[in-house]
Amino acid sequence: MMNKVFGGTVHRKSVREDGVFNIALDNSCSLFRGLQKEEHVLLTHGDSVDKVADGFKVVAQSGNIVAAIANEQKKLYGTQFHPEVDLTERGMDMLRNFLFEIAGCSSNFTVQNRQMNCIREIKEKVDKSKVLVLLSGGVDSTVCTALLNKALNQEQVIAVHIDNGFMRKRESQSVEEALTKLSIKLKGNIQKVPFSSLV
């Protein structure tokens, strides 16, 4: 996509690459700094870069197929492989290079920091009010309710489980049991809310 947006071309080749392959890297490229000249990566594609966009250069290849491009001046990098998966053996190093060396991020984020910031913000905004929270049992509503429970007194949090009509058999019961294990006390249960009323 990046190559095409910047004026290059991409075409479907007669050959697909699906699986773990050795690719040749230009390890002078910021994205691949500290890596070997050859690395194992997961490739899953049929479309390939045909003509490289102006300002970009090929920084990785799988045989004669382009596996990565870069424009170091604009700090733009595109990979045709998956650095985010375990099958790409040095993928985390590539992501670390991108985040800390290229994008200039710092590594001071922790889940505990984020949780403490959320709890502090909830306490400031809610103060002594009550909060009605509707729980489907999904990640978003459950995490929100768990944070509310940590930040506020239990009588301030009115947690109601919503069966939206799309639940699997016994899913509402499983959700309620899971919430109880998280010390989330439900104040009620709304059964089968018509979908039209949610839209």
The CATH number of 111-198 is 3.40.50.620
Q: Is 142 annotated as contributing to ligand binding?
A: yes
Q: Return the C-alpha torsion angle 49, 53, 56, 57, nearest 10.
A: 50
Is 197 marked as a binding-site residue?
no
140 marked ligand binding residue: yes
Question: How much is the pLDDT for 163?
Answer: 77
Question: Tokens standing for 146?
Answer: 């768990």
Q: What is the pLDDT of residue 191?
A: 58
Burial of 170 (0-12, 13-18, 19+ CB in 10 A): exposed
Positive or negative, the CA dihedral 177, 183, 189, 194 is negative
Fill in the amino acid letter for 192.
Answer: K
User: Is 139 part of any known ligand binding site?
Assistant: yes
Ligand-binding site membership of 138 (annotated): yes
- 49 marked as part of a ligand binding site: no
CA–CA distances in Å: residue 55 to residues 52, 73, 81, 102, 137 = 9, 8, 21, 17, 48
**Confidence (pLDDT) at 89:** 95
Looking at residue 164, its pLDDT comes to 72
Nearest in space to 43 (alpha carbons), one of 73, 87, 103: 87
pLDDT tens by residue, 88-110: 999 999 999 999 999 999 888 77
Average pLDDT of each block of 10 consecutive residues along the chain (199 residues)? Answer: 94 89 96 96 93 97 94 96 96 96 88 89 92 87 91 90 79 83 77 51
Helix axis angle for 111-126 and 139-151, nearest 10°, is: 70
The reported pLDDT for the residue numbered 94 is 97
Residue 199 has what pLDDT? 46
Using H for helix, E for strand and C for coil, what is the string for 3-42?
HHHCCCEEEEEEEEEEEEEEEEECCCCHHHCCCCCEEEEE
Q: Which class does domain 2-102 fall in?
A: alpha beta
Closest listed residue to residue 1, CA positions, set 95, 79, 97: 79
34 is in an annotated binding site: no
Domain boundaries, given as residue ranges, for the chain:
2-102, 111-198
Residue 113 backbone phi and psi in degrees, to 5: -60, -50
